[in-house]
Chain A
Amino acid sequence: MLSLQNIVVSRGRRPVINALSASVDRGDVVALLGPNGAGKTTLLHFIAGVLKSDSGDIYYAGRKIDTTSTDWRRILAYVLDDGGIIPLLTVEEQITLQSVLTGVDHTESIERARLVIDLLALGKYRDYRGDELSSGVRKRLGIGLGIVGDAEVFLFDEPYSSLDLQATAVFGGILQTLKNRGRIVLVASHSFPFPDHLYNHVWSLSAGVVTDHSNEREVRDRLDHPFPSGGLSGQSEIDIPWILQST
């Protein structure tokens, strides 16, 4: 279980997250809503250890977490808004590097890179360098970099922007897999193109405070559905062999 308690995070002198408290369980997929500047990225940055809090603590599995510690990095995957890619490495090199850096051996990393490239239809761009990719392909690569390791907590910042229909559907399948296999997933976005039953929680951020709307039908109905009825409703699980069932 991941629990945030009385978190206050400031950017400069302005507190962006104000006494935020919330918690999620294994297998939860959280839809994090909020207008521009509401603090969605700030919250994800804090959980990922990029920003420090002014006060408050974060707990995982009952233990207090230092977000900059090696232990936390071992179980965390963070997909940045811009994909977080390295401009001068090729798609294949980046995925392999990411896998190696998460502690997977080289041979296994190459195999994982191959699978991720196939899964996200990046085969055509295998030898393209990061600075040669379009924003949509960068986003796909970013998602690939996030799932290449076997993390327990996944953070996705604006994953749907720039994605085409096919990639969005694949990402839906990835979310379903992570949910079914007991991972904790936080997705910050303006729009959520999947049926609301994919998300166990719907959090909205406003004035630095999170409100849990999980049981409010009218808020859930506000999640966007840009696809024809039933288009992406039956998201089936995608097999990612290294992401095993949580115990």
Chain B
Amino acid sequence: MDTSINLNRLARKLYRRATHRLLGNPFLGSFSAFLTLLLLIRIAANFYMVVRLSNTNPNIDAVQIASAHFVFLSAYAVWVGTLGSCRIALALPRYCSIDFALHARRFRSMFLRRVVLFRPMTVAYLSIMLLTALISSAICGSWGSIFCRYLIVLLSTFAAVIVVTALSSRSFPSRSELQILETLYLLFLLVLNPDIGSSKGVIRISFLSGSLRYSFSNLWQVGSAVGVIFILALLVLFLLRGLTGVRKLFRRQISFSPMERWYWRFLRIRSWVILYVIVTPIFISSAVSQSTKRCTLVLSILFAVASYLYFISHCENTLHEKWRCSLFDRGNSRLLARTILNHAALMGIPVLGYIVFR
């Protein structure tokens, strides 16, 4: 009896449903979708610029720029694709009823095969990469080197998938952890603006539009750097897990006032983390001017003030609607003081960053 056709259909259905971005944390899902859009817009604009400039100015090294973008995109496909596959694989829980059925392994492997083979290199990623390679080739005519890179990236993708699968066999990252890693990576691409290319036989990697540069004289060094990046990503994952544990411990041991609980529930720590991730590279970079840094600090302070005012107005409205009382009634000042202190402490970090790195 051949049941493969129907199992395939169900595996396909499960796969399609699991690919939906918003299945995990909706905030992270929509945020990473937004970041992906920004990334694609930036890459498209850069390409347009490269093509136009190379037509008018023969001194522009179009191959170099196009290759950098190609690797840039490939790295995006490798990382986001791999994380996405892990997220989708979670659609089949570790132990469920089917695991006690006769052909359970067959269905599980059918589903995982679909995830591993289709997800990291979806049609979209493949098209983007192929298009990049074709444009680069059309500009400079160097098919060989471009497709060689293409092959390397394909192989490294599968290597990354195998590594992630092997590492996650004991302790599988949760769906939101994977989404956080995906979002951090997109922020890394957008904020740090990494670039890679070779010049006179030396591979160079730069960050923050060239203000931080590193050179690698051979492939082993590049491999080591990639390994370090991978380890750093895993460290981020473990750090996230650690922080979750610390937060739980913190919540158990420290008593919050009702207003503070409301504050932490309403203004979540992640909005601050996003702010820090955005402003830190600007403060650190030597390529960014003082006036831009000052503007960034002012915008951060505005964010802090606006978010606190938003919180206060939300509390005031809710209290008025439900209990006909006001937040500013006599006796509430002590409750409010702790939330103001919390907010000021969180705001102190960017201010400190500005003072240290200006």
- In whole angstroms, what is the CA distance A244 to B106 when docked? 27
| Partner among B1, B96, B101 whose Cβ is within 8 Å of the Cβ of A73 | B101
| Chain B neighbourhood of A134, CB < 8 A | none
- In whole angstroms, what is the CA distance A149 to B104 when docked? 13
Count A-side interface residues using an 8 Å CB cutoff.
35
B100 and A83 contacting across the interface, CB-CB below 8 Å? no
| Chain B neighbourhood of A146, CB < 8 A | 97
| Secondary structure class of chain A's binding surface, majority of residues | mixed
Q: Say if the beta carbon of A181 comes within 8 Å of chain B.
A: no
Segment with Cβ contacts to A, from B6-14, B125-133, B257-265, B277-285: B6-14
Q: Say if the beta carbon of A165 comes within 8 Å of chain B.
A: no
Q: A101-B101, A149-B101 are in contact. Are A80 and B92 (CB under 8 A)?
A: no
| Partner among A88, A93, A102 whose Cβ is within 8 Å of the Cβ of B101 | A102
Nearest-CB distance from B95 to chain A (Å)? 6
Nearest-CB distance from B220 to chain A (Å)? 41
| Partner among A73, A77, A88 whose Cβ is within 8 Å of the Cβ of B91 | A88
| Partner among B17, B18, B95 whose Cβ is within 8 Å of the Cβ of A80 | B95
| Partner among A50, A83, A101 whose Cβ is within 8 Å of the Cβ of B103 | A101
Q: Say if the beta carbon of A79 comes within 8 Å of chain B.
A: yes
| Partner among B6, B18, B102 whose Cβ is within 8 Å of the Cβ of A70 | B102
- In whole angstroms, what is the CA distance A93 to B98 when docked? 12
Q: Say if the beta carbon of A34 comes within 8 Å of chain B.
A: no
Within 30-58 of A, Cβ neighbours of B (below 8 Å) are at 48-50
| Chain B neighbourhood of A93, CB < 8 A | 10, 13
Where the two chains meet, the residues of A that have a C-beta atom closer than 8 Å to any C-beta of B are 48-50, 70, 73-74, 76-80, 83-89, 93-94, 96-98, 100-103, 105-106, 109, 129, 142, 145-146, 149
Nearest-CB distance from A203 to chain B (Å)? 21
1/0 contact trace for B92-135 toward A, CB 8 Å?
11011111111110110000000000000000000000000000
A89 and B102 contacting across the interface, CB-CB below 8 Å? no
| Chain A neighbourhood of B92, CB < 8 A | 86
| Secondary structure class of chain B's binding surface, majority of residues | helix
Q: Which residue of A lies closest to B100 (CB)?
A: A78
- In whole angstroms, what is the CA distance A79 to B101 when docked? 11
Cβ contacts A to B, 22 pairs, < 8 Å? A73-B100, A73-B102, A74-B102, A84-B96, A84-B99, A86-B92, A86-B93, A86-B98, A87-B93, A88-B14, A96-B10, A98-B98, A100-B7, A100-B103, A101-B98, A101-B103, A101-B106, A102-B102, A102-B103, A103-B3, A106-B5, A142-B97
B102 and A84 contacting across the interface, CB-CB below 8 Å? no
- In whole angstroms, what is the CA distance A80 to B6 when docked? 25
B100 and A100 contacting across the interface, CB-CB below 8 Å? no
Q: Which residue of B lies closest to A149 (CB)?
A: B101
| Chain A neighbourhood of B10, CB < 8 A | 89, 93, 96-97, 100
| Chain B neighbourhood of A49, CB < 8 A | 100
Instruction: For the complex of A and B, list the 6 residue pairs with the smallest distance between their C-beta atoms, beginning with the closest.
Output: A101-B101, A84-B97, A145-B97, A78-B100, A88-B17, A84-B96
- In whole angstroms, what is the CA distance A73 to B102 when docked? 5
Q: A88-B17, A89-B14, A105-B3 are in contact. Are A83 and B101 (CB under 8 A)?
A: no
